[in-house]
């Protein structure tokens, strides 16, 4: 393979029919040979990009923690300051205060899409226009070669999709066979200009508190189809409450259009905002953060602030995860030149890439976690000091608890009696007692007097003479188990 920085291009077009309504794909591919020195220079530039990403991530972490803490403080302040008022009348005594109110959001007049004579009583009316178009996808696969060069194969594929934005096919690699027509109309959204919330005015900013999740679809009826037919001709038809311009909704073709509507309906809503005259606006907390909340349905002030805190926490964790990933990418780019150098032998390059990824992850954690801690210390020094003190106290408490448990176990351990083995017999355990270690193998004969008297309560053991039971009589029993009949091998008998 060539070691210089020149690029060798080749193109192979795949054969295939034009994409049909089912979204079939076709396309072609290009192959590029990138020399070792070009890859090395690109990786050196990547070091600067990587360091910039690491620096931007550090700044972003500080910004995100500050945003999260500032928003939480503003919401806490708002929750303490908000008062619930009826929406049926505007009380001048609450001028400038943060108020919570629940009432019916009304449009005042019908909204209309004059272009197609669609009218409805709603707070917001949105027209969505989609066109069936070609979309180009690129996928690049790289293969390292001996000597450090790399072969990159980029495959261009094309699929047919519904999109509410015009896709510029003039930038496609295959423009002639994948051409998109111009969208004849665009979507639009309008809100009621005279909406009210009880006795309060509801301007665009109040209505903007209720996003896409609060909307519902609005079906177009057959009676309203005529203006669309006049505009698009006899290919216009209804399909699932939407207007379809094409031959067959089940088998769309490039250039087919579908037009649908959605509305924000009238109904009960809850809003937390600052009362200004007969209107509502954002409340500015002491730290400069705005508090302006809105939800559909009847919600208490406490519920709304709880939901806002939960949303703030969710956004914070999402941004933290994104920052972690971006910092890892940055550190990996810093170590990329070592991967390129090792890639002279492809198998070593793969191993170095894996190692660089692990080192980048380690550096990410080493930098990221202290940055989070510093950000908290910067924005919440008192709480950070308290948490550090709690952590130290907890570690010290765990250490003392472990020491006390070890001391208690040592005090409860049995102490063997002097002259006795620590374990009386294999498989037996008698606390505080034991027989002397036996110098004789089991079942072997021992000289007279070698066996001590058995301890009361211990079972007979192999290798020891078994004690005998004597009937009650004036004759005294042997003083020990060694004074047994000669038939048992005691000291009174001959062996």
User: Could you read off the pLDDT of 207-259 as tens digits, one per residue?
Assistant: 999 988 889 999 999 999 999 999 999 999 999 999 999 999 999 999 999 99
Let me know if 106 is exposed, middle or buried by CB neighbors in 10 A (0-12, 13-18, 19+).
middle
Q: State the average pLDDT over residues 70-76.
A: 95
- Residue 263, pLDDT above cutoff 80: yes
* CA neighbours closer than 13 Å in the CB half-sphere of residue 382: 0
pLDDT of residue 432: 46
* C-beta of residue 178 within 8 angstroms of C-beta of residue 158: yes
pLDDT of residue 330: 94
pLDDT of residue 199: 94
> What does each C-alpha distance from 130 to 182, 242, 260, 261, 389 come to in angstroms?
12, 11, 9, 11, 59
pLDDT of residue 17: 35
Which has the higher per-residue pLDDT, 339 or 29? 339
In this structure, of 2-16, 81-95, 150-164, the range with the lowest mean pLDDT score is 2-16
Q: pTM for the full model?
A: 0.67
pLDDT of residue 387: 61
pLDDT of residue 425: 47
* Average pLDDT score over the chain: 80
Q: State the average pLDDT over residues 420-446.
A: 48
Which has the higher per-residue pLDDT, 479 or 455? 455
Which candidate, 475, 39, 69, 99, places its Cα nearest to that of 283? 99
Max distance between CA atoms of the chain, in angstroms, equals 135
pLDDT of residue 291: 96
pLDDT of residue 140: 84
* Count of other CB atoms within 10 angstroms of residue 379: 17
Strands 257-264 and 216-218: antiparallel
Residue 142 backbone phi and psi in degrees, to 5: -115, 145
Please give the sequence-ordered ranges of beta strands (E in DSSP) within 16-79, or none if there are none.
26-34
In this structure, of 213-217, 306-310, 339-343, the range with the lowest mean pLDDT score is 339-343
Residues paired with residue 103 on neighbouring β-strands, in sequence order: 269
**What is the per-residue pLDDT across 466-493, written as a single tens digit (0 to 9) for each?**
555 544 444 444 444 444 444 444 444 4
d(CA 176, CA 475): 127
* C-beta of residue 46 within 8 angstroms of C-beta of residue 340: no
For the chain, give the percent of residues with pLDDT over 70: 76
- Residue 446, pLDDT above cutoff 60: no
Q: Would you put residue 240 in left (φ > 0), alpha (ψ -120 to 50) or beta? A: left
**What is the per-residue pLDDT across 368-409, written as a single tens digit (0 to 9) for each?**
988 888 888 887 776 667 766 776 777 778 888 888 888 888
């Amino acid at each position: 393979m060539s070691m210089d920085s020149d690029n060798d291009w080749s193109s192979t077009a795949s054969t295939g029919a034009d994409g049909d309504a089912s979204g079939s794909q076709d396309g072609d591919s290009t192959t590029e040979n990138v020399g070792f020195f070009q890859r090395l220079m690109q990786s050196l530039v990547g070091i600067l990009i990587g360091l910039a990403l690491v620096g931007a991530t550090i700044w972003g972490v500080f910004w995100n923690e500050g945003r999260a803490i500032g928003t939480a403080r503003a919401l806490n302040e708002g929750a303490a300051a908000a008062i619930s008022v009826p929406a049926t009348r505007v009380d001048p005594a609450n001028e400038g205060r943060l108020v919570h109110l629940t009432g019916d959001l009304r449009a005042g007049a019908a909204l209309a899409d004059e272009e197609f004579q669609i009218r409805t009583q709603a707070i917001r009316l949105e027209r969505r226009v989609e066109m069936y178009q070609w979309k180009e996808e690129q996928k690049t696969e790289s293969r390292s070669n001996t000597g450090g060069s790399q072969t990159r194969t980029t495959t261009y594929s094309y699929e047919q999709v519904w999109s509410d934005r015009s896709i510029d096919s003039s930038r496609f690699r295959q423009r002639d066979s994948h051409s998109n027509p111009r969208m004849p109309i665009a979507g639009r959204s309008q809100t009621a200009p005279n909406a009210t919330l009880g006795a309060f005015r509801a301007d665009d900013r109040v209505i903007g508190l209720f996003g896409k999740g609060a909307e519902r679809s609005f079906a177009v009826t057959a009676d309203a189809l005529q203006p669309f037919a006049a505009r698009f001709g006899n290919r216009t038809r209804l399909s699932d409450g939407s207007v379809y311009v094409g031959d067959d909704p089940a088998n769309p073709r490039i250039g087919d259009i579908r037009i649908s509507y959605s509305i924000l309906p009238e109904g009960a809503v809850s809003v937390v905002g600052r009362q200004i005259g007969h209107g509502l606006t954002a409340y500015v907390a002491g730290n400069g953060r705005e508090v302006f909340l809105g939800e559909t349905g009847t919600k208490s002030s406490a519920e709304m602030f709880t939901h806002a805190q939960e949303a703030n926490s969710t956004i914070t964790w999402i941004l933290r995860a994104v920052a972690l990933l971006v910092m890892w990418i940055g550190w990996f780019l810093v170590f990329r030149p070592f991967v390129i150098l090792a890639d002279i032998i492809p198998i070593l390059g793969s191993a170095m890439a894996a190692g660089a990824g692990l080192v980048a992850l380690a550096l990410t954690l080493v930098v990221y976690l202290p940055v989070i801690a510093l950000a908290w210390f910067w924005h919440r020094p008192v709480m950070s000091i308290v948490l550090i003190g709690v952590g130290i106290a907890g570690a010290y408490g765990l250490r003392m608890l472990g020491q006390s448990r070890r001391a208690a176990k040592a005090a409860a351990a049995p102490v063997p009696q002097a002259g006795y083995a620590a374990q009386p017999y294999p498989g037996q355990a008698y606390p505080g007692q034991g027989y002397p270690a036996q110098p004789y193998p089991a079942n072997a004969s021992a000289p007279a007097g070698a066996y001590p008297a058995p301890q009361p309560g211990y079972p007979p053991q192999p290798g020891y003479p078994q004690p005998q039971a004597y009937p009650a009589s004036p004759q005294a029993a042997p003083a020990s188990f060694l004074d047994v009949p000669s038939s048992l091998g005691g000291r009174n008998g001959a062996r």
